[in-house]
Amino acid sequence: MSHFRKIIIIAALSMLSFLFAKPVEIWLDEIQIISEHDKMGDQLYFYVLENRKDQDLEDRTMPAFPFSYTKKNIKEFESVLLWRDEVAKNNQVDMTVSLLEREAPPWFQDDVMGIVSLNIKNDADKIKVKWKNEENCSIDSTSKSDVKKITIQRDAGQYKIKLRVVY
């Protein structure tokens, strides 16, 4: 088989896998600080970890350092995209979304306020989402599978967030 034919076949297979992949997004629709964890005021951010079979872990923070959500600026952050990618047919991605409170490095480590995980699966071209409480979180079970209201409580800090999965 010629080199040119191999390239054409590889390109065609790549295009076919693209056709069967479904775009998925995770949005932060709302964040409320009910009570602060830190007496000096919370500086919050999200840490999003993506785990796919046979691939390296990928992570991101939102907002990116040095920015953070505070009681003063929190209203400016509505409908924030936390993650966007495609999930190939008959594949899945495990997501971990953590709310952290930023401390003053290098003296103190950031505090984990709460963690929620999602399993996003493309099952024969139909996206299925499963949510799980991981740490200091309570997920409202009455909300739809693609939109979840989550209460996070750690020590004196209490937060309410709303996450939405779009597919």
Q: What is the 3-state secondary structure (H, E, C) of 24-90?
A: EEEEEEEEEEEECCCCCCCCEEEEEEEECCCCCCEEEEECCCCCCECCCCHHHCCCEEEEEEEECCC
Cβ atoms 83, 48 nearer than 8 A = yes
pLDDT on residue 40 = 87
Provide the pLDDT confidence category of residue 39 given band limits of 50, 70 and 90. confident
pLDDT of residue 75: 84
What pLDDT, on the 0 to 100 scale, is given for residue 76? 81
Q: Give the C-alpha separation, 16 to 68, whole Å.
A: 40
For a pLDDT cut of 70, what percent of the chain falls above it?
A: 90
Higher pLDDT, 68 or 105: 68
How far is 34 from 156, CA to CA, in rounded Å?
10
| 136-158 pLDDT, tens digit each | 999 998 878 889 999 999 999 99
CA distance 131 to 162: 13
**pLDDT at residue 162, as a whole number:** 95
Q: Which CATH class is domain 22-166?
A: mainly beta
- The pLDDT, as a whole number, for residue 19 is 60
Domain boundaries, the chain: 22-166
Question: 109: Cβ–Cβ under 8 A, 6 or more apart, which residues?
Answer: 103
The pLDDT, as a whole number, for residue 15 is 53
Structure confidence at residue 10 (pLDDT): 61
Question: In the predicted model, is pLDDT for residue 14 greater than 60?
Answer: no
